Structure 1
Amino acid sequence: MSAAQRAEFDQLKTDIDDFVLGEREVYWLCQTKQSQSKFSNAVLERKLKARSTLRRASMLSGLVNEL
């Protein structure tokens, strides 16, 4: 991510939503139900000007268990 893209996440942080940025991944901590958050994959793609995919931690755990 560019410096400008990383700066966009500072503007997205709220009392409900927090983000940790990795090299190529973004970790999103939602303090409530996702439906109550204003953040979504569409918001992420608009801010980054790039395609993206969201995955829940439970789905990732399921994949690990399958391996």
Structure 2
Amino acid sequence: MRTLLSAPVGALRVERSGAMSWWVWLVVIVVVAVIVVGGLLAIQFRRRRGGVIVDPGQSPRTRGRRAGR
């Protein structure tokens, strides 16, 4: 096992970047999760307001899914 003083400079650089990668992945995962949750909330908000997004299960003739039961 090498100590920090006996390791060459290149090895220190590799070890440091390897140690930093865990928080980089954490930040990426958090950002992706925020984008996905924000997108899902935006879709739900548009559906409730009657926006552009249309539920394919509903049509003007049947008035929702219960009409077919």
Q: Normalising to structure 2: TM-score of the pair?
A: 0.17
Bigger radius of gyration: 2
More strand by share: 1
Which structure's relative contact order is higher, taking Cα pairs within 8 Å and 6+ residues apart? 1
Q: Normalising to structure 1: TM-score of the pair?
A: 0.18
